[in-house]
Structure 1
Amino acid sequence: MATTTPFHLVRLGCLAIFLCLAAALPSHSSSSPHVPRYFRRYPVSPRNISVATIQRELGPTLSQGSTIFGPENPGFANATHRFSLLSPPGVQIVVIPAHESDVSEIVKYCVHNTIEFLAYNRGHGSTTSLGKFKGLQINMQLLNNITIAADKKSAMLQGGTYNDQVMRTLWDQGYVTMTGSTDCVGVMGPALGGGHGRYEGMYGLISDNFLQLNVVLADGSAMAVDAKSDPDLWWALQGAGHNFAIVTSLKMRIFPRQVDSWHYHSYYWTGDQLETVFKAMNAFHRSDNGTTPPRMGVNAGAVVMNSTISATEASLYWSFTYAGPAAEAEALLAPFFGSIPNAGEESGDVPYPDLSAAQRVDAAHGGCNSGTYATSSILMRDYNVTAQRRAYDSFNVWAARYPDLGRRARYYYEGYATKAVHEVDDAATAYPHRDETHIVYFSTGVPEGSDLLGPATEWAKATWDIWVEGEDPVRPKIYVNYAKGHSYETTEAIYGYEPWRLEKLRRLKAKYDPQNRFGYYVPIVSK
């Protein structure tokens, strides 16, 4: 004869079995967080990430060729190498995805396990906000394919590509596109902040040439974004993109290269020529009407101690580049050649990808060296000659006071031909500073093991104050990719003073990244 057990005893029996199973599981604590997900009431934030556990759990979901490793791996230092050592992110584990689809799996895993994640390409992000990160780094180095479309009007670049690679690959096949100017820097880092470069007079910012972005959002979902599919997210990705997504690949415009070489002409001037140089520079750019010759790409200047010119005073260095023959370039550069006595000059004609070396921003000239740097920067429309004289005199004072800093110090000047940048509606993208034609940047390296970081930081701020007073001390403007996380760098200065801009960015941030997982690179919302 069959018997039955009262229902309340069945429930108690099931509960007893559950408790026995639970007792056999690892402790549900931050030091041992890997309770199977279906037994977790809430996500667990681990204090220390176990490489072995992530290899076991995440590894099987990734494509062949993907790797997962921690600090004990010989490749860890190279995989986490950074330009700035001042406030580096706390990377506990590195995952190198072999395919774009892996990025989505990695982010989903991190979200499910409450592990912070950070995308990495070439390590040139140097804002101190990165120092707040601790968790898993997604290294994009294997996502480096470049594919030219059949119609020869666009190319698909994966998220791990970098400037020199893109410039050379396209140039060799007869094309160019907008990238940054320093060859070792990744394409996507600058691009998500707008992205300046030598071709912007002709083609606009890097982000102005986006056609489609394949992204992974903060919840791990993957999607293709363009101007029609999601206009709001598309707008945000063009100027504030670091706060919204990881780009696994992008489709962007390419153009026939038109010329076989670029002409460059570099000058060295002594400090007594400073006023003459900057007045000529303002006339050259004619920023009041935006008629800087579009083919005259970025001209890169510097104030620097050069012992071959003077042992006690800084000198000026300036390098101009032109997308065309020497005769055309020299006609435009007549105000500088011969009219201003110089202490030396160099000129030549090189293929476009070789300009980085000609302008001394390549790896061989220290353009990719790691170190601890004290920096500050500001955007300008014109050069305030009086402010530049004050800054120059201040440079000499500080360099004499701290020779170890003075030998490493630079004022950098980036002047752009911006015709195509100005042709884009200012409200069309999140990039807020289309009226500014120059980036001015201070940097000094701090010797390893020295106690000079404090003075170096003071020097950076003192220089910034001089530049700001020469512009608009109430509304200074800062290029997001050069922002360093200083207390005086306001969100408005970086992302725009128009109230509607920040309102829109914060509204979109709440929609696409409500947990602020993309909050480590010049954040819109504090982490």
Structure 2
Amino acid sequence: MYTIFSKLLVALATFLPLTFVTAIPPTLKRTPNDYTPLSPSPSIIQQELGLCLSKNASLYFPSSPKFQNYTLRWSAAMDPDFAVVVVPAADREVSCTVKFATKYNVPFLTVNQAHGTASALSNVYNGIEIYVSALNSIDIALDGNSALMGGGTYQDQVVTYLAAHGKTASTGACGCVGMMGPGLGGGFGRYQGYFGLVLDNIISMNVVLANGSMVTVSASSNPDLYWGMRGAGHNFGIVTSFNYKIHDQPVVDWFVETMIFTADKLEAFFEKLNALGANGTQPVGLFTYTLFAMSPEISKTEPVIIFTLEYAGTKAQAEPLYTPFLTLNPVVTTNVTVPYTGVAHASGAGVEDPLCAKGDSWKTFPVGLQVYNIATNRAIYNIYSKMISENPEFNNSVVQFEAYSMQAVKAVDPASTAYAHRADNLLVSFATVYPANHTLDAIADTYGKQARGVLHAGDAPGRPLNTYVNYASTDETPEQMYGYEPWRLAKLRALKKKYDPNGRFNFYAPVNP
């Protein structure tokens, strides 16, 4: 670690090995935005950037043993190339890092929990990683209705902190994922039936723009950007802190039921799931999460159906919801009642669970749907099974069926934010998981795109292909991610021209590809 207040370190920087300079010719290292192919030397970085960093900030170069820890991603399929990692301790340090990157015409990428799956992240060459995890403060307002949170906060941290004060909020469903990464693109979670998406609860944001300036974004300050940041925010700036709605806890405990079915129950299972309210009418406080997955303890050759029902209430209150599925005779059934702080782990999505482990390659192919098409889901099961049988390296892949309560989401005017897919009731994703090996990327793309096409074909007639921007990973178009209404993209592209005319934030799902 290199702290930035010692002139001695600046002097020593000239002797650091230039391990970040690769053997690839500079002409091959140019990005679509024509960035400078080689980064400034470590001595220049320390000397110039170090002037605006406090003693609490840090720099990591590739020669540092900790560099890999700060650059390891959840999906190795998206592998940006960094010359240095900056860990700012204050929002002004984010600002000066962006200004430094602009001065030397090098790319930069903001990272919190490193879960983004957009393939264009790999277009970052010799760039600067701005690792915002240290910006993780949480301060609850005196009235208890909001909290000021740092841009580096993550789901489990927020849930745990708020619960200790008798509060809760709309957060994502996976404990290890950041708040603002998903929030800028939507933010699905267990409490969205009560409070809406993560982005629906953002009161204001402190944002560093592409030119390094710092602005406040809210309904009264830069309202045009407030609209665009809530749904397409990755395009416009870096959120260093945000004022967020919080709420009294609606319930004390959550009930979590998990069942595993063999494939012969597939049709009957999805019939019951549709009857439960998969058309967007399922009860407030209910979240169902279904997987096609391999479970060697049950079958070494046939994928199984893993079903998790999570309910904001007691076991007795949830009994009418889960009992119909017991009639299908699951091969495994377990249940537990836990406080909300334990729900993510109870469903396998906690910080320490395998789902949060980094280092494998993930590519997700999402589709927003109206209702489960049972014939389509059988076809998807067959595609998944074929992929696994022909490519055992993909054994950890899954097909995800996510059904959240939609009442508060649909209550928001679709035109009021840049998020365009409030009419989607379900989120289905063909998620390919395989060892970090780029020779396997093409296999993932082939099966994923085939499955996505089949899922879309089975949706309600005439509906366009909607893809969730936070799961986007390959060739999704701006229309698929941000909506097909011409006015939406026109408005977003006007904002892009105003706030990021040089495309500095074009590495994650750009509105101008």
* TM-score normalized by the length of structure 2: 0.90
Q: Does the alignment pair 1:465 with 2:453?
A: yes
Q: Does the alignment pair 1:513 with 2:503?
A: no
Alignment partner for residue 110 of structure 2, among 119, 122, 126? 119
Cα separation, partners in 2 of 1:44 and 1:318, compared to 1, 3 Å: closer
Cα separation, partners in 2 of 1:348 and 1:517, compared to 1, 3 Å: same
Alignment partner for residue 342 of structure 1, among 314, 330, 333? 330
Q: Does the alignment pair 1:419 with 2:421?
A: no
Which amino acid in structure 1 is aligned with residue 90 of structure 2? H
Which string of whole-angstrom CA distances, capped at 9 and with x for unpartnered residues, describes residues 335-390 of structure 1?
22x33221111111011121111111224431122212343221112111110011
Tell me how many residue pairs correspond in the alignment. 478
Contact map agreement 2:156 2:351 (CA 8 A) in 1: no
1:446 CA displacement: 2.3
- 382-391 or 436-445, larger mean C-alpha shift: 436-445
Distance in 1 separating the partners of 2:340 and 2:123: 38
Q: Does the alignment pair 1:256 with 2:248?
A: yes
Partner of 1:383: 372
Residue identity (%): 38
Aligned to 1:313, what secondary structure does the other structure show? strand
Cα separation, partners in 2 of 1:417 and 1:44, compared to 1, 3 Å: closer
Aligned to 2:493, what secondary structure does the other structure show? helix
Alignment partner for residue 295 of structure 1, among 282, 285, 290? 285
Distance in 2 separating the partners of 1:265 and 1:240: 35
Contact map agreement 1:148 1:155 (CA 8 A) in 2: yes
Which string of whole-angstrom CA distances, capped at 9 and with x for unpartnered residues, describes residues 389-438 of structure 1?
11112222232222332x22211111110100000001110000001121
Distance in 2 separating the partners of 1:522 and 1:83: 17
Alignment partner for residue 224 of structure 2, among 217, 228, 232? 232
Partner of 1:199: 191
Aligned to 1:314, what secondary structure does the other structure show? strand
Partner of 1:132: 123
Aligned to 2:258, what secondary structure does the other structure show? strand
Which amino acid in structure 2 is aligned with residue 512 of structure 1? Y
1:63 CA displacement: 2.3
Cα separation, partners in 2 of 1:474 and 1:423, compared to 1, 3 Å: closer
Distance in 2 separating the partners of 1:46 and 1:401: 40
1:45-444 to structure 2, matched below 5 A, reads 45=36, 47-134=38-125, 135-285=127-277, 287=279, 290-296=280-286, 298-336=287-325, 338-369=326-357, 370-405=359-394, 407-444=395-432
Partner of 2:8: none
Cα separation, partners in 2 of 1:171 and 1:248, compared to 1, 3 Å: same
Distance in 2 separating the partners of 1:68 and 1:62: 9
1:262 CA displacement: 0.6
Which amino acid in structure 1 is aligned with residue 147 of structure 2? A
Distance in 2 separating the partners of 1:264 and 1:385: 25
1:259 CA displacement: 2.2
Distance in 1 separating the partners of 2:444 and 2:405: 32
- Is there any run of 5+ residues in structure 2 with no aligned partner, and where? 1-20, 22-33
- 360-369 or 346-355, larger mean C-alpha shift: 360-369
Which string of whole-angstrom CA distances, capped at 9 and with x for unpartnered residues, describes residues 281-330 of structure 1?
1121152xx4321111x311101122232233211001011111111111
Partner of 1:11: none
Which string of whole-angstrom CA distances, capped at 9 and with x for unpartnered residues, describes residues 136-192 of structure 1?
111102111011111100011100111111110111111101111111111110000
Cα separation, partners in 2 of 1:168 and 1:363, compared to 1, 3 Å: closer
Distance in 2 separating the partners of 1:50 and 1:511: 32
Distance in 1 separating the partners of 2:209 and 2:119: 23
* TM-score normalized by the length of structure 1: 0.87
Cα separation, partners in 2 of 1:453 and 1:119, compared to 1, 3 Å: closer
Which string of whole-angstrom CA distances, capped at 9 and with x for unpartnered residues, describes residues 42-97 of structure 1?
x9946232121111011122222112231111211111121111131111111111
Aligned CA RMSD, in angstroms, stands at: 1.8
Partner of 1:478: 467
